[in-house]
């Protein structure tokens, strides 16, 4: 339908619009009519008289200055509005009716829309894709310029009333979009969880008890969420493999939670897969977690990753040799050559021998200063199973805390949801201190050299210096400031730790779950050492890290960390009312200390753009 002169939509790029929010705003023209009614042409003529056009434009400017979001009614507007939109597009594009959008001088974009459009996007804006050159039904304006601090009082003429909706999506919804899923709502659904035996079961029980829609069962068969201390093949085998039905694409989008999911890492995955939570399964173990938690596999993967990226692997991890057949192994002969080289140079020649397979709690670890001690450690190991070893250079110049050795325990959560890997770094952690002053004169004294709780708790001095031999990051930061003055833990040490954890995700994300089981995650414990040059060294990664509340600080830290990890994983797939928050922050999200540091979908997108 052709529109008379003076009754068309006023050219929106003539007056300069106010500064608009950095978040994409969708602005639709609406009337005061009931949104369930389809608008007729006379209705639109009454709305878009020349006088009311200026009012509408002022209203638009006022609302946009307030940073609010406008949305249209569910049913589409009439073809007349589409004709007006098309006319505006033709005018701005030099009579090119097939153009999908026009960009205004103020940074806005006008998109042509269809009824019931699907959200799409690009590197700077979100809009609606055009699917046909006919039947345009809506005019959408998307703004990407910064929001002014000025807030104007909104006075909307009754005839030009705009329907305003401002609703922030939940963290679970943002996570779902980042993994390409949508979770269907189910009324009065009770989920089932299985909790296997182990030293962490009581804490997990208390964490799940906070979630009212859950019921504990005593078999993993039929359970929605399964937690075990160690990986059980019977459970991983019961999880379905992810089936790639169509190629995934990524859409750059605004992160509603930038402190948890930074804008430069967050993206959304399309197409979206629907999940019925009552039928879904989630397991707390990655199918091939040994790629990180086995000492030999961690060494192989990090050595390969750093070498491929032209980084000296032994600038990140201590010098390491892997030995499969005791002192008869060819690699052991290479190690012996290096040992003699260091001995001739008269430099530190202390080594630590560890089982190559998955062990923790200091089991099977020996600190050695002579070749004879090393040979005894790898040849006289008593085990029915075939065992390999890693021989690793001991960091003999560790930074000390009041004369004693320490290491840093921190946490990360790696998730595999609908075939997409993500890694979240936990910003809080703690130091584990030794009970005896540091010295290399007695390498056999484990209370000097091994900081594991399983070792230190048997020392007579355990808890004498610090409660439970534990320190918070903030306590250590204050110590550094008072003792050295020129070192900031949060700016100079913690970023190194975060970058190294990201490296471990990059090195292994293709191996951790080759079949992409639906769905799994794992809380991992990372151990780091710091030397006297404030350089961070990755020591090992632990499956089933100790979650014992062995000090007053850990009584707060660990339950909070586990609970917030479940917000990212369990609550993403199984919506449940959260009862620990406040009225302003019902899910406790403002205090969530996890930060997304690796997103496979975003990483692959960036690779394809290179």
Joined tokens for residue 523: 């809380």
Residue 603 lies in a domain: yes
The structural domain count of the chain equals: 2
Q: Cβ–Cβ contacts within 10 Å for residue 576, how many?
A: 18
Q: Count CB atoms within 10 A of the CB of residue 400.
A: 16
Quick one: pLDDT at residue 357? 84
19 pLDDT band, cuts 50/70/90, is very low
Is residue 515, in this structure, part of any structural domain at all?
yes
- The pLDDT, as a whole number, for residue 410 is 98
Across the range 325-344, mean pLDDT stands at 94
Give the CA count within 13 Å in the CB-facing half-sphere of 1: 15
**What span, in angstroms and rounded, lies between the C-alpha atoms of 390 and 332?**
10
For 52, phi and psi rounded to 5 degrees? -75, -20
Last residue within a domain, chosen from 110, 140, 167: 167
Decide if 101 is inside a domain.
Answer: yes
pLDDT of residue 134: 28
Q: CB count, 10 Å around CB of 582?
A: 10
Crossing angle of helices 171-179 and 552-568, rounded to 10°: 60
Q: What token pair was written down for 462?
A: 């355990």
Question: Token digits for 573?
Answer: 């797939």
- Identify the CATH number of the domain in which residue 406 sits: 3.30.470.20
Q: Contact at 8 Å (CB) between 266 and 121?
A: no
Cα gap 326→329, rounded to integer Å = 6
Residue where one domain finishes, among candidates 151, 167, 183: 167
pLDDT in tens, 368-382: 999 999 999 998 765
Residue 303, CA distances (Å) to 105, 386, 504 in order = 51, 24, 11
Before 307, cis peptide (omega within 30)?
no
Say if CB 558 and CB 525 are below 8 A apart: no
Q: How far is CA 548 from CA 406, 545, 557, in A?
A: 18, 9, 11
Residues 6+ apart with CB under 8 A from 176: 182, 183, 572
* Domain membership of residue 601 as a residue range: 290-318+395-609
Percent of the chain with pLDDT over 70: 69
pLDDT digit string, tens, across residues 71-96 = 333 333 344 444 444 444 444 444 44
pLDDT for residue 107: 41
Place of tokens 């899910």: 587
- What crossing angle do the helices spanning 494-508 and 295-308 adopt, rounded to 10°? 90
Q: Is 215 a residue whose pLDDT tops 60?
A: yes
For residue 377, tell me if it sits in a domain.
Answer: no
**400: which 2 tokens?**
């000390």
Q: What is the pLDDT of residue 169?
A: 84
Give yes or no for a contact between 470 and 432, defined as CB atoms under 8 angstroms apart: yes
For residues 231 and 290, what is the distance between their CA atoms, to the nearest angstrom? 10
- Cα–Cα distance measured from residue 526 to residue 513, given in angstroms and rounded to the nearest whole number: 19
DSSP for 520-574 reads EEEEEEEEEEEBTT--EEEEEEESS------SHHHHHHHHHHHHHHHHHTHHHHS
- Of the pLDDT bands very low, low, confident and very high (cuts 50, 70, 90), residue 135 is very low
Query: Within a domain: residue 299?
Result: yes
Long-range (24+ apart) CB contacts under 8 A made by 576-580 are: 576/191, 576/211, 576/212, 576/213, 576/214, 577/211, 577/212, 577/213, 578/210, 578/211, 579/210, 579/212, 580/210
Tell me whether residue 229 is in a domain.
no
Adjacent-strand bridge partners of 523: 413
Summarised one tens digit per residue, pLDDT across range 100-128 is: 444 433 344 444 333 333 333 332 222 33
List beta partners, residue 456: none
pLDDT at 580 (0 to 100)? 56
| Among candidate residues 136, 167, 198, the one where a domain is terminated | 167
Report which secondary-structure segment, H or E, holds 46: helix 41-47
Among 15-29, 50-64, 189-203, 502-516, which is the least confidently predicted range? Answer: 15-29
User: So what's the pLDDT on residue 16?
Assistant: 29
Look at residue 540 and tell me if it is in a domain.
yes
- The beta-strand segments (E) located in 276-318 are 282-283
Query: Is pTM, for the whole model, over 0.85?
Result: no
Mean pLDDT is lowest, of 9-23, 88-102, 246-260, 549-563, for 9-23
600 neighbors 456 (Cβ within 8 angstroms): no
pLDDT given for residue 247 in this prediction: 79
H or E, element range at 393: strand 389-393
CB 505 within 8 A of CB 600: no
Q: Hey, what are 343's tokens?
A: 């001995």
Encoded tokens for 14:
């003539």
Mean pLDDT of 288-304: 97
pLDDT digits (tens, 9 = 90+) for 37-74: 333 333 333 333 444 444 444 544 454 444 433 333 33
| DSSP code string of 113-166 | E-SSPPPEE-SS-EE-----SS---EEEEE--SPPPS--------GGG---B--
Of 312, 320, 307, nearest to 391 by C-alpha is 320
pLDDT of residue 583: 53
- Name the pairing type of β-strands 191-195 and 225-227: parallel
Query: How are strands ordered across the β-sheet holding 389-393?
Result: 320-323, 389-393, 351-355, 366-368
Q: Considering only CA atoms, which of 306, 150, 293, 280 is closest in space to residue 226?
A: 280
In terms of domains, do 413 and 555 share one?
A: yes
Q: Is residue 204 part of a domain?
A: no
Tens of pLDDT, residues 433-468: 999 999 999 999 999 999 999 999 999 999 999 999
Phi, psi of 559 (to 5 degrees): -60, -35
Q: Which two three-digit tokens encode residue 80?
A: 């007349």
């Amino acid at each position: 339908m052709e529109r008379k002169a003076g009754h068309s939509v006023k050219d929106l790029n003539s007056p300069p619009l106010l500064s608009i929010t950095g978040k994409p705003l969708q602005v639709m023209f609406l009337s005061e009519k009931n949104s369930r009614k389809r608008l007729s042409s006379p209705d639109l003529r009454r709305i878009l008289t020349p006088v009311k056009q200026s009012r509408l434009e002022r209203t638009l400017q006022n609302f946009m200055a307030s940073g609010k979001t406008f949305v249209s009614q569910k049913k589409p507007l009439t073809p007349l509005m589409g004709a007006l939109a098309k006319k505006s597009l033709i005018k701005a594009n030099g009579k090119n009716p097939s153009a999908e959008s026009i960009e205004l001088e103020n940074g806005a974009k006008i998109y042509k829309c269809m009824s019931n459009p699907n959200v799409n996007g690009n590197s700077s804006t979100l809009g609606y894709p055009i699917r046909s050159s006919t039947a345009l039904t809506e005019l959408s304006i998307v703004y990407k310029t910064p929001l002014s601090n000025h807030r104007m009082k909104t006075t909307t003429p009754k005839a030009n009333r705009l329907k305003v909706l401002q609703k922030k999506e939940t963290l679970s919804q943002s996570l779902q979009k980042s993994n390409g899923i949508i979770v269907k709502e189910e009324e009065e659904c009770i989920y089932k969880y299985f909790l296997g035996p182990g030293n962490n079961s009581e804490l997990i029980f208390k964490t799940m008890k906070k979630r009212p829609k859950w019921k504990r069962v005593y078999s993993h068969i039929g359970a929605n969420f399964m937690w075990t201390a160690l990986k059980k093949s019977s459970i991983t085998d019961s999880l379905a493999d992810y089936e790639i039905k169509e190629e995934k694409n990524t859409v750059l989008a605004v992160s509603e939670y930038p402190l948890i999911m930074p804008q430069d890492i967050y993206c959304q995955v399309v197409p979206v897969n629907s999940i019925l939570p009552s039928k879904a399964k989630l397991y707390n173990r990655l199918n091939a977690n040994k790629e990180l938690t086995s000492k030999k596999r961690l060494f192989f993967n990090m050595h390969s990753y750093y070498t491929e990226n032209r980084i000296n692997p032994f600038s990140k991890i201590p010098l390491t040799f892997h030995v499969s057949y005791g002192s008869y192994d060819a690699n052991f002969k290479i190690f012996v050559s290096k040992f003699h080289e260091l001995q001739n140079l008269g430099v530190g020649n202390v080594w630590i021998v560890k089982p190559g397979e998955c062990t923790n709690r200091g089991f099977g670890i020996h600190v050695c200063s002579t070749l004879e001690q090393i040979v005894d450690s790898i040849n006289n190991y008593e085990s029915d199973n075939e065992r390999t070893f890693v021989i690793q250079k001991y960091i003999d110049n560790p930074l000390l805390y009041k004369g004693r050795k320490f290491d840093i325990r921190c946490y990360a959560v790696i998730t595999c949801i609908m075939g997409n890997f993500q890694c979240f770094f936990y910003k809080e952690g703690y130091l584990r201190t030794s009970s005896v002053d540091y010295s290399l004169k007695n390498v056999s004294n484990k209370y000097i050299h091994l900081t594991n709780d399983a070792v230190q708790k048997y020392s007579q001095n355990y808890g004498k210096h610090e409660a439970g031999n534990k320190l918070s990051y903030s306590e250590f930061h204050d110590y550094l400031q008072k003792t050295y003055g020129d070192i900031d833990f949060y700016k100079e040490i913690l970023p190194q730790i975060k970058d190294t954890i990201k490296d471990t995700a990059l090195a292994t994300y293709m191996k951790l779950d080759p079949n992409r089981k639906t769905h799994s995650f794992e809380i991992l414990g990372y151990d780091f050492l710091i030397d006297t040059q404030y350089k961070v060294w990755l020591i090992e990664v632990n499956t089933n890290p100790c979650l014992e509340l062995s000090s007053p600080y850990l009584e707060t830290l660990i339950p909070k960390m586990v609970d917030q990890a479940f917000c990212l994983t369990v609550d993403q797939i199984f919506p449940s009312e959260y009862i620990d928050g406040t009225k302003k922050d019902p899910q406790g999200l403002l205090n969530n200390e996890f930060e997304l540091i690796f997103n496979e979908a975003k990483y692959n997108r960036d690779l394809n753009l290179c």
